């Protein structure tokens, strides 16, 4: 315990706290001023700070305290149990946020295993995410293209088709796979087969995700005739890094995994039917429901990879090779959507607990 802002700053030099309860009316500084001093001292390792005060409690004052960096405010006098409840809520929210950030990092790590370009686009048709395959295929740096429109990469005569497909998908409509020509950093061009899909959650937040396959060598056309099964577009489990969160509370039981695999198979099947028969079966809500089921059972991206590989093993032995190829293409889109929904589930849980 410190009796002044000066003492507090001395204490945190030798003891790094996770949480501070600060009286706004300190003898040498205000609580708001202390927040700034602590931030300057600890930088990124900022603890949660709750301000207590009997001086003011109006909305304008509280908003100013939160804007300075406080995580909560309590007016004096208060009950000890109320303080404890606020502190516990903070740590629960922080745990969920850490889990969301970890899952997002793992999600991007999985995308970087793919040899295909995977990207996210915002409402203004600008890149918000690109995986490492983008650098491999285009010779550009990912960092140079985030926030920029893909139109600058696409051949002039293909731009209208791309923009039209983007608008269709953003409006909730399904579009067929299409081809565009991409210009590399060295000026050479290559054909890219594209699939776009809408990623959304129960809160209505949406983004467009795309997967692009390089068609330069057309190797996949020769796999069937040559009798080779290189599995170039699937993710190999042994090449997948250990993405299990260290704080995972329990393993998913077999019944839940079986239910998830059944749901995943149904969703991919409907996606294939939509593509072939031009149907309009709603799979977004089913993907969201499956994402929620997995999230409630502490799922990780590796669990979803296991679902995906389990599905492919099941159908690669029971379906004709041509049908298997179509199933693979659709299952990759479902895989990306499901991973995105898992990340959104944990983020929504964080927001829910913050209210």
Encode 258-306 in three state secondary structure: HHHHHHHHHHHHHHHHHHHHCCCCCCHHHHHHHHHHHHHCCCCHHHHHH
Provide the token pair at 274: 């939509």
Domain boundaries, the chain: 5-78, 95-112+239-355, 115-232
Contact 304, 294 (CB under 8 A): yes
| E strand segments, the chain | 19-23, 48-53, 72-75, 117-121, 127-130, 178-183, 189-200, 206-214
Q: What is the pLDDT of residue 226?
A: 42
Q: Which residues of the chain have pLDDT under 50?
A: 218-248
Q: What is the pLDDT of residue 141?
A: 95
Residue 109 parent element (H or E): helix 80-111
Q: What is the pLDDT of residue 87?
A: 93
Work out whether strand 72-75 and strand 206-214 pair parallel, antiparallel, or are unpaired: unpaired
Phi, psi of 126 (to 5 degrees): -130, 145
Q: What is the pLDDT of residue 303?
A: 85
Q: What is the pLDDT of residue 330?
A: 84
Q: What is the pLDDT of residue 159?
A: 93
Q: Measured on CA atoms in the order 96, 100, 103, 109, is the torsion positive or negative?
A: negative
Q: What is the pLDDT of residue 32?
A: 87
Work out whether strand 127-130 and strand 117-121 pair parallel, antiparallel, or are unpaired: antiparallel
Cα–Cα nearest to 259, from 209, 299, 213, 219: 299
First to last CA, the chain: 29
Q: What is the pLDDT of residue 140?
A: 95
Which superfamily does CATH assign the domain made up of 115-232 to?
Answer: PAS domain (3.30.450.20)
Which superfamily does CATH assign the domain made up of 5-78 to?
Answer: Response regulator (3.40.50.2300)
Q: What is the pLDDT of residue 15?
A: 82
d(CA 92, CA 254): 28
Residues in the chain: 355
Q: What is the pLDDT of residue 217?
A: 55
Which pTM was predicted? 0.47
d(CA 78, CA 95): 26
Provide the token pair at 15: 């003891």
Q: What is the pLDDT of residue 207?
A: 83
Tracing tokens 């039981």 back to the chain, one arrives at: 253
């Amino acid at each position: 315990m410190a009796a002044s802002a000066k003492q507090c700053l001395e204490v945190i030099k030798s003891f790094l706290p996770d949480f501070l309860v600060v009286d706004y009316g300190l003898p040498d500084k205000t609580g708001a001023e202390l927040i700034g001093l602590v931030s300057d001292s600890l930088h990124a390792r900022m603890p949660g700070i709750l301000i207590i005060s009997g001086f003011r409690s109006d909305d304008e004052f509280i908003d100013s305290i939160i804007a300075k960096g406080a995580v909560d405010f309590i007016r004096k006098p208060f009950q000890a149990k109320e303080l404890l409840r606020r502190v516990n809520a903070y740590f629960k929210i922080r745990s969920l946020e850490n889990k969301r950030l970890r899952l997002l990092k793992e999600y991007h790590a999985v995308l970087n295993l793919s040899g295909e370009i995977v990207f996210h686009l915002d409402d203004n048709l600008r890149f918000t995410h690109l995986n490492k395959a983008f650098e491999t295929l285009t010779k550009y740096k990912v960092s140079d293209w985030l926030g920029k429109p893909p139109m600058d990469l696409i051949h002039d005569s293909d731009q209208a088709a791309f923009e039209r497909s983007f608008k269709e998908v953003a409006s909730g409509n399904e579009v067929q796979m299409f081809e565009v020509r991409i210009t590399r950093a060295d000026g050479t061009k290559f054909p890219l087969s594209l699939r776009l899909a809408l990623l959304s959650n129960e809160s209505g937040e949406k983004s467009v995700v795309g997967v692009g396959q390089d068609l330069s060598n057309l190797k996949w056309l020769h796999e069937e005739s040559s009798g080779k099964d290189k599995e170039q577009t699937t993710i190999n489990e042994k090449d997948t890094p250990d993405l299990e969160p260290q704080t995972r509370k329990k393993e998913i039981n077999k019944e839940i995994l079986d239910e998830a695999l059944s749901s995943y198979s149904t969703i991919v099947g409907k996606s294939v039917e939509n593509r072939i028969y031009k149907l309009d079966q709603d799979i977004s809500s089913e993907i969201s429901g499956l994402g929620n089921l997995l999230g409630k059972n502490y799922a990780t991206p590796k669990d979803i990879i296991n679902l995906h590989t389990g599905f492919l093993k099941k159908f690669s032995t029971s379906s004709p090779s041509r049908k298997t190829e179509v199933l693979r293409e659709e299952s990759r889109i479902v895989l990306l959507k499901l991973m995105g929904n898992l990340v959104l589930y944990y983020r929504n849980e964080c927001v829910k607990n913050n209210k």
